[in-house]
Amino acid sequence: MSKRLGMLFPPVAVFVAFVGLWYLYSGVVLDEARRKITLPYFHDVVDQSFLDGENRGELLGATWTSAWIAAVGLAISIVLGLLFAVLMSQAKWVERSFYPYAVLLQTLPILALVPFIGLQIGFGIKARIVVVVIISLFPIITNTLFGLKAAEQGHHDLFTLHDSTRMTRLFKLQFPSALPAMFTGFQISAGLAVIGSIVGGLFFGRGAVDLGNRIQLYVARLRAAELIGAIMLSAALGVMAFWLFGYLRNYFTASWNEAE
């Protein structure tokens, strides 16, 4: 119990210090008029965003929309990422052909690309999902590819000695040995998927309202308390996505992974 308390204390202390600085800045530096439209007190943010029934409903509805857009985009990224990684691991020419473009995908400034995506496929939900896929695909490809190629030579020798087929080697050796790296990729991408979902919402307003749409609206109407509430929910969503895949990685690999 005391160990758990000991582990909880540092982040809680940082949070308390952060909120303290927040109060200090809002109360001392800002006058009341500016405070209301830039940085309201912490308790005002909680009050207006989460205790007010109407606002809470709006924000939670938007969070749910952002969450499923991120989930659908991430699922597509996982399927595509695994597929490309497997193909690249099986044939050097595939890796040489596609890997540079996977890198390019990662280095493209997503904000510059988003309007272009809108022009191509419209400004609705589909475009937001595409943004999520673009932003979350690369870590899955690189981590899975790294994992598939990192199976030990001694283990490969065992399979060679028994004339194993490529598929046997892939499913009985490379995939299991790649699991920790794969889940690390999923974990990174899960956080990025949430970011992609919200960035997409900042640009694409058609269809269900998500956190990105809400953030746009709150900025336009100078509703700082709800804006901060939306940012808090975005952060919570990202943390939950990251935690979920961390939990899954532990569930599937902690019993055997030497590095855990």
Partner 1 sequence: MIDVARGAGAVSALLHVNVQVAAQALVWHDLSVSEGQLTRTDLDRLLSFDSVSMVFPDGTHALDDVSFDVHAGEFVTIVGPSGCGKSTVLRIASGLLANSGGSYELADDNLGYVFQDATLLPWRTVLKNVELFDELRGGDKAARRSNAMKTIETVGLGGFEKHHPRRLSGGMRMRVSLARSLTMSPQVFLFDEPFGALDEITRQNLNEEVGRLFKALNFAGLFITHSIPEAVFMSTKVLVMSSRPGRIIDSFDVPFEYPRTSDLRYDPEFARLSGEISMSLAEGH
Q: Between 250 and 257, whose beta carbon lies closer to partner 1?
A: 257
Rounded least distance, CB 144 to partner 1, Å:
16
Binding partner 1 by CB under 8 A: which of 146, 172, 240, 246? 172
What span, in angstroms and rounded, lies between the C-alpha atoms of 204 and 126? 10
Assess 56 for contact with partner 1 (CB under 8 A). no
The number of beta carbons lying within 10 Å of the beta carbon of residue 90 is 15
Q: Between 123 and 175, whose beta carbon lies closer to partner 1?
A: 175
Choose the binding region for partner 1 from 96-104, 159-167, 187-195, 197-205 (rule: CB under 8 A).
159-167
Choose the binding region for partner 1 from 2-10, 30-38, 133-141, 252-260 (rule: CB under 8 A).
252-260
Choose the binding region for partner 1 from 42-50, 161-169, 212-220, 230-238 (rule: CB under 8 A).
161-169
- 191 close to 242: Cβ distance less than 8 angstroms: yes
Rounded least distance, CB 173 to partner 1, Å:
7
In angstroms, how far apart are the furthest CA atoms of the chain? Answer: 77
Assess 168 for contact with partner 1 (CB under 8 A). yes
Tell me the chain's radius of gyration from C-alpha atoms. Answer: 22
What span, in angstroms and rounded, lies between the C-alpha atoms of 129 and 207? 12
Choose the binding region for partner 1 from 11-19, 90-98, 108-116, 170-178 (rule: CB under 8 A).
170-178
What span, in angstroms and rounded, lies between the C-alpha atoms of 71 and 110? 19
Site for partner 1 in 173-192 (CB under 8 A): 173, 176-177, 179
Q: Between 33 and 259, whose beta carbon lies closer to partner 1?
A: 259
Choose the binding region for partner 1 from 114-122, 130-138, 172-180, 202-210 (rule: CB under 8 A).
172-180
Assess 167 for contact with partner 1 (CB under 8 A). no
- 22 close to 39: Cβ distance less than 8 angstroms: yes
Q: Between 126 and 155, whose beta carbon lies closer to partner 1?
A: 155
Rounded least distance, CB 260 to partner 1, Å:
9
Which is it for the CA torsion 242, 243, 247, 248, positive or negative?
Answer: negative
* CA 254 and chain centroid, separation: 22
Assess 1 for contact with partner 1 (CB under 8 A). no
Binding partner 1 by CB under 8 A: which of 160, 171, 206, 244? 160
User: Which residues of this protein are in contact with partner 1, per CB under 8 A?
Assistant: 152, 154-155, 157-162, 164, 168, 172-173, 176-177, 179, 253, 255-258
